[in-house]
Amino acid sequence: MKLADDILLNGALVLIVLAGALLLVRIWRGPSMLDRAVSVDIAAVLIIAGIGINAAITRTSYYLSIMLVIAFLGFTSSVAIARFIAARDRPGVRTRPGAVSLRKGRGTTPGQDTKERP
């Protein structure tokens, strides 16, 4: 049984290393910011998986709290990146060079409707 466990865990480790190499290619060549953001989120998952394999090989539960913290940091970074991309791509937030904003944070230019949006 020990031999089967070692073979499976080493196979999983090889697959995680291969996924990490492909992930670096995606981060380097990603055509958009969203591709890179997803790649960073997957990197956190691969780190968690690697730590999990290490915990399984050493048969210790010490790493479980570390895995939980990394999962939380990965989730919060994904949410922050998604909010940044959503705010960047939201229509009406950008202003043209030299434009005057009539309302705080709205990015309106002179001549645009200044009524409050619902």
pLDDT digits (tens, 9 = 90+) for 6-20: 899 999 999 999 999
Q: Which residue has the higher pLDDT, 109 or 78?
A: 78
pLDDT of residue 30: 78
User: Between the CA of residue 110 and those of 90, 95, 105, 115, what are the distances in Å?
Assistant: 20, 11, 14, 13
Report helix angle 33-58 to 2-29, nearest 10: 160
- CA dist 48 and 72 (Å) reads 11
pLDDT of residue 82: 82
3-state SS, residue 92: coil
- CA dist 48 and 53 (Å) reads 9
pLDDT single digits (tens) 33-59: 788 888 888 999 999 999 999 999 899
pLDDT of residue 88: 74
Read off the pLDDT band of 97 (50, 70, 90): low
User: Between the CA of residue 3 and those of 7, 75, 81, 118, what are the distances in Å?
Assistant: 6, 36, 43, 65
HSE (side-chain half, CA atoms, 13 Å) at 48: 18
Burial class (CB in 10 A: 0-12, 13-18, 19+), 28: exposed
Read off the pLDDT band of 102 (50, 70, 90): low
pLDDT of residue 37: 82
Name the strand (E) or helix (H) holding 2: helix 2-29
